[in-house]
Amino acid sequence: MAGARAAAATSPGSSSSSGNPPPREPGLGELLEEFSRTQYRAKDCSGAGGSKVERIEKRCLELFGRDYCYSVIQNVNGDICGHYPQHIVFLEYESSEKEKDTFQSTVQVSKLQDLVNRSKTARCRGRFVCPVILFRGKHICRSATLAGWGELYGRTGYNYIFSGGADDAWADAEDITEEDCALRSSDTHLFDKVRGYDIKLLRYLSVKYICDLMVENKKVKFGMNVTSSEKVDKAQRYADFTLLSIPYPGCEFFKEYKDRDYMAEGLIFNWKQDYVDAPLSIPDFLTCSLNIDWSQYQSWDLVQQTQNYLKLLLSIINSDDDSGLLVHCISGWDRTPLFISLLRLSLWADGLIHTSLKPAEILYLTVAYDWFLFGHMLVDRLSKGEEIFFFCFNFLKHIISEEFSALKTQRRKSLPARDAGFTLEDICMLRRKDRGSTTSLGSDFSLVMESSPGAAGSFTYEAVELVPAGAQTQAAWLAALNERKTRLQEVRSAFLAAYSSTVGLRAAAPSPSGAIGGLLEQFVRGVGFRGTSSSTL
């Protein structure tokens, strides 16, 4: 592992010793072209294609380094996981430019490395629990689901002996031989061992909440349980964690989204299919404040389901405890990046994480790191019309409102507001500079709220007053209220423009009304992005 200071010391914009101009930073268009051409594999990062990936990874490190001190888990040649980044970022601390030169990490890097190496076999495809977002000192993590006995014994008894430890050769059940199955009875302690290390890693990262997006209890192929999940662990090894079963349709369902001309409204998953056996299960203490009727989840369309799940995840990470969150599906490279990316963008839009990044930069970071470098199979998904990747960024239009904001207020300290036109939530959205004096004796009332986020894990409280709603204050309030909306709209627009000029239009057939078929076609013709060079995006 290496510290962030070394990674950030050589900026992509620094001059070379020869006096030649530095290489141009990789843009989103270039990233999407590479992404739509091949699936990322850490072991294939060599040659011309490898140099492109190296530039993408270097750009990600630079963007992380803008706001965080971090360490790097080295995964060169995919030694730990073949479809995880070569340089896996472990965010340690949110820091200012001044603090970057003086901060001394207290993370036990060697312990983290050891737990990662020991726990990787516990999960599907070796995709171990990996922290990817740091929010108020809490780690938001991603992974695949737990490996079932079929994969676990197949890999330990076959792949790791004869295939040099390749972590992606296990996928089909025919790789599991009768000899592998015999290992099941000869070593009953293997599950305890590998899942024990997985649990130690979760505890080291202070993860308490585990959100499982699988619609199955176990993944079954050819009649065999290939993978498992924490919610059906017979030994109850994960009983000390808060387990949430929030079934969400897999990538196959998003072909229907594409076939419906990219319209998610009214698109409802068929919950009566034979393989769907995981019910929605959420502890009551996590749902009481959300005002959502969870018993109706099977009647929700794709928009409402995604919105409600995102609200749930945001409420968990915005709670008062210091516990982290793990989100996973089966392999952890379709539904998992969907929600990780939405969380990252939503928190960024509130100004709570990645505070120095512009819309184009946060978009690049989440596409490159959350999707491409964690192995999303965009090439395969595009060939099948399973456009879950596109859905993620087009969906931003559905989370622009304040109800998805993680900005949280505390209880009032004294008298209620006299002006019913201003609510406590309204005042939260005001910028500090627009709130007026905190010492004036002529204020209508004061309240206690969380300040703008500072160092991760620390909170400060200040007295904030409501001043008479003059024109300037009213304008400032409206501007602050619209900031989240504006930022997310800018990200969505930049994505659609780059996507249309690189991946290309994949419009469905025109509707009977004669309307233009395909959301992308409508967007491109409406705002004039047709023919725009990807190098300018």
Cα–Cα distances in angstroms (integers) from residue 436 to residues 401, 419, 446, in the given order: 25, 16, 11
Which single residue is written with the structure tokens 């901060």?
103
Say how far residue 345 (Cα) sits from the centre of its chain. Answer: 8
Alpha-carbon distance of 431 to 151, in angstroms, equals 52
Tokens (6 digits) for 84: 């995880």
Tokens (6 digits) for 245: 């079963």
Residue type, 336: T
Quick one: DSSP state of residue 157?
Answer: I
Cα–Cα distances in angstroms (integers) from residue 47 to residues 12, 22, 29, 222, in the given order: 21, 21, 21, 38
Q: How many CB atoms lie within 10 A of CB 230?
A: 23
Tokens (6 digits) for 436: 């007026």
Alpha-carbon distance of 173 to 177, in angstroms, equals 9
Q: What angle do CA 384, 388, 393 make, to 5 degrees?
A: 140
Residues 6+ apart with CB under 8 A from 354: 63, 66, 67, 344, 348, 362, 365
Alpha-carbon distance of 323 to 417, in angstroms, equals 34
Alpha-carbon distance of 309 to 313, in angstroms, equals 6
Confirm whether 392 is a catalytic residue.
no
Residue type, 124: C
Tokens (6 digits) for 386: 């399973």
Q: Where are the beta strands (DSSP E) in 42-125?
A: 68-74, 87-94
Q: How many CB atoms lie within 10 A of CB 310?
A: 19
**Nearest Cα residue to 316 out of 325, 307, 308:** 325
Q: How many CB atoms lie within 10 A of CB 368?
A: 25
Alpha-carbon distance of 228 to 370, in angstroms, equals 24
User: Judging by beta carbons within 10 Å of its beta carbon (0-12, 13-18, 19+), is residue 354 exposed, middle or buried?
Assistant: buried
Alpha-carbon distance of 401 to 406, in angstroms, equals 11
Catalytic residue among 81, 211, 251, 329: 329
Alpha-carbon distance of 54 to 61, in angstroms, equals 11
Q: Which residues pair with 209 in a beta bridge?
A: 242, 325
- The set of catalytic residues is 329
